[in-house]
Amino acid sequence: MNHTTRREFIVQTAGALGAVAFMPSLIAKGAQIDGRLDVAVIGAGRQGRSILGELQKFAGVRVVGICDNNPGRLNSGLRRVQGAEGFADHRAMLDKLTGCKAIVIATPTHLHREIAIDCLGAGRHVYCEAPLAHTIEDCRAIVVAARRASGLVFQSGLEGRSNPIYQLARTFFRSDAVREPVSLEAQDYRKTSWRFPSPDPRFDREINWRLDPEVSLGLAGEMGVHQFDVMMWYLDAIPESVIGAGSIRAHDDGRALADTIDCALRFPRGLGMRYGASLGNSHGGRYELLRGTNAAIKLAWTAGWMFKEADAPTQGWEVYANRQQFHNEEGITLIADATQLASQGKLQEGVGLPNPPLYYALGDFIASVAEGKPAICDAEAGARATIVAIHAAKSVTGEEIVRIDPSLFQF
Amino acid sequence: MILPLSIHAMGTRFEFVLAGATEPSLRAVGEAALEEVQGWHAALSVFQPESMLSFINRTACDRPVRLDEDMWNLMSLCDRVHRDSEGAFDPTVGMVMQRLGLHPGDGADGPIGWADLVELDERERTIRLTHHGVRIDLGAVAKGFALDCSAGVLREHGVEAALLHGGTSSVIAIGSPPDRNGWTVSIRSAGEAIEVDLADRALGVSAPRGRIVACEGGSVSHVIDPRSEHSAEQVDTAAVVGSSAGVADAWATALVVLGGRPASMSDKLESLIHGQDGWVCSQRTCPQEVS
């Protein structure tokens, strides 16, 4: 006889009633594909190297090419992967690696347009890091190219969309568990100059493109885009306006772009979102906080929690949920795969993602390519979040209210 | 100028002191070096499920896991020191530490013994675990290896003088401070301190009494003899000086387990061991004791 304890029964039943039952296995998700998929990565900077590391985890996926015009970065990338061929020019790579079906673009943002269009034109599936581009014109050009490339997958690298904890939390957010949204908040605080060393002065401006106001969207664009997208995805809405301000608080080293910013975005029906980012202090790190009339959800990329209001209805599964204390508040840990883990008596193991968020985003891309499925976050979704980020960056620079024209999102 | 930088990682504080010309570029280089530490913290933590090491522990029994060059070098280093120390250094001992309450754990049990449990395929650059439940824990070598990588970044960008340490037990010196023969580092053990001058050298220190945990029937130190699965307490402190902090860290742990220097230890590594007879040093006269 299969003995199921009352506790297990409640956890399993509640999981089945809630969203947790629908989560795929976190560990198995995307871990392998049938056959072999050859992939190349363009851009071997820090993010490109992280991508190479995660791609190595997928059985059946082979990184066959790495492209970067900076020899030092290219060598760093090649050290990550055995057997990959190095290229300085992406067109030469596309011409030579004819068997390579999928390309991951991790170059500086302002180079995405040309490379993405070349890759799609050469019949390759594309995963493009976010933000999608540094201008609205470039965003629209990429969307047009992705639409024309029928049969090809184009995934925007907005990782929240693939994150199992974020997917789970969204089902709560859009249910009675959170109820009516009250306010939104997000931050990304770090302690770093955002300046990268260059052994060769010729590459200095190129390497430190994030500090170049001509091509960089600054903190609002490069860091904020992922967090704006989470809110837009959760609400299924686009902000109507943004006001921002920025200053140099920590790194007065000749840079022009602010190292600390604050923005206030206004969504439909007056819902507000506060956004702060800084390179001068790391307290609190990176998170999103969504407050509703029944509960607040806090998301921190590899973990998530729900904080219930006292008058919110109790759901059966909460009794046995994992909890964490935050000062004088208690958060219910949001665990994807909870039903499966509970049935194995391993609920505690589910606290935290078993892989970095990037792994899940790449896993979705690989699955889309292998199975011919639409991208989980297509070019239009990437363009929408990027256009909002471009407006936020503009509001920080001009310290003014910037209206976001809804017609910009008609692609 | 002298630029100090620090971060919290691997459960301790890493501190870098760099000497160089101008601040923006020196800071940028220093931050790139610190990023190496953060990267290895993220990759090697057994307490974070999303780390690469957790992925290996979880997956490598079901299929070989591909490693990048740095991770391969780290695993090869462990393999080499495990072999040369005749099993005294064993990264699979983490399971025993978990059992003894030195590390948090989920109550699961598993086998130990690197030589039988870990297969490294050099041609494919993969790692495979031969049994389920194996828990590789690189706590004894991670800080030093991360410092090796950080020092590589600093050297690559032309830094000629710097001192790097992780939790004071893993140290790398690049060059020397102006007008000095080396960076002077003091090693204190049971009230007796010695000083060593490091120039383009690394130091790894292991002290079994650095962390003691109470358990049923007494207490255990944080260095476990993988062969007996008991605390290693024959010496107070073991320090190793060499060219790599990762190697020095691994050997410092092995020396505590062995209670002395084995013949199999490379002549290129200097050992300083403090026990009942005071400091015993290899290859040269012991540095002068200081009060």
Query: Which DSSP category does A122 fall into?
Result: T
Beta strands in B10-125 (DSSP E): 12-19, 65-66, 118-121
Within 10 Å of residue A177's Cβ, how many Cβ atoms? 22
The CATH number of residue B102's host domain is 1.10.3980.10
d(CA A133, CA B288): 62
Nearest CB to B55 within list A57, A79, A191: A57
Q: In terms of CA atoms, which chain A residue is nearest residue B6?
A: A191
Task: Identify the pLDDT of residue B256.
Answer: 94
Asked whether the predicted pLDDT for residue B219 surpasses 90, the reply is: no
Nearest CB to A349 within list B23, B24, B106: B106
- Nearest-CA distance B25 → chain A (Å): 6
Domain with CATH 3.30.360.10 in chain A: 163-353+385-403
Model confidence at B234, in pLDDT bands (50, 70, 90)?
A: confident
The string of pLDDT tens digits covering residues A274-317 is 999 999 999 999 999 999 999 999 999 999 999 999 999 887 77
User: CATH topology for A163-353+385-403?
Assistant: Dihydrodipicolinate Reductase; domain 2 (3.30.360)
The string of pLDDT tens digits covering residues A303-312 is 999 999 999 9
The residue among A26, A54, A57 with the most chain B CBs within 10 A of its CB, best to mutate, is A57
Q: Which of A130-139, B60-69, B192-201, B226-235 has the lowest mean pLDDT?
A: B226-235
Q: Which of A9-13, A256-260, A382-386, B43-47 has the lowest mean pLDDT?
A: A9-13
CA atoms within 13 A on the CB side of A33: 23
Place of tokens 């702060």: A276
The fraction of chain A above a pLDDT of 70, given in percent, is 88
Q: Which residues of B touch A348 (CB under 8 A)?
A: 106
Which residue range forms the structural domain that includes residue B91? 54-129
A356 with B55: Cβ contact below 8 A = no
- In DSSP terms, A402 is beta-bridged to A242
Q: What is the mean pLDDT of chain A?
A: 89
Residues for chain B: how many in total?
291
Task: Identify the pLDDT of residue B20.
Answer: 84
B49 with A81: Cβ contact below 8 A = no
A197 with B157: Cβ contact below 8 A = yes
Q: Is A408 helix (H, G, I), strand (E, B) or coil?
A: helix
Structure token pair of residue A12: 């399993």
Residue B78 in domain? yes
Task: Identify the pLDDT of residue A267.
Answer: 98
Q: In terms of CA atoms, which chain B residue is nearest residue A45?
A: B32
Q: Which residues of A touch B24 (CB under 8 A)?
A: 193, 195, 253-254
d(CA A346, CA A361): 25
Q: Which residues of A touch B69 (CB under 8 A)?
A: 79-80, 82
Residue B67 in domain? yes
B68 with A46: Cβ contact below 8 A = no
Task: Identify the pLDDT of residue A14.
Answer: 36
The CA-based dihedral angle spanning residues A319, A356, B153, B175, taken in that order and rounded to the nearest 10 degrees: 20
Q: B93 versus A377: which is more confidently predicted?
A: A377
The string of pLDDT tens digits covering residues B152-195 is 999 999 999 999 999 999 999 999 988 888 999 999 998 888 99
**CATH number attached to the domain at A32-160:** 3.40.50.720
Count of domains forming chain B: 1
Model confidence at B286, in pLDDT bands (50, 70, 90)?
A: low
- Nearest-CA distance B59 → chain A (Å): 9
Burial, B214: exposed, middle or buried (Cβ in 10 Å; 0-12, 13-18, 19+)?
A: exposed
Within 10 Å of residue B112's Cβ, how many Cβ atoms? 22
Residue B12 in domain? no
Q: In terms of CA atoms, which chain B residue is nearest residue A84?
A: B68
Would strands A260-266 and A295-299 be described as parallel, antiparallel, or unpaired?
A: unpaired
Residue B77 in domain? yes
Q: A324 versus A122: which is more confidently predicted?
A: A122
> In the predicted model, what is the mean pLDDT of residues A41-61?
96
- Structure ipTM: 0.86
Q: B115 versus B216: which is more confidently predicted?
A: B115
Domain with CATH 3.40.50.720 in chain A: 32-160
Task: Identify the pLDDT of residue B168.
Answer: 92
A-B contacts at Cβ under 8 angstroms: 71
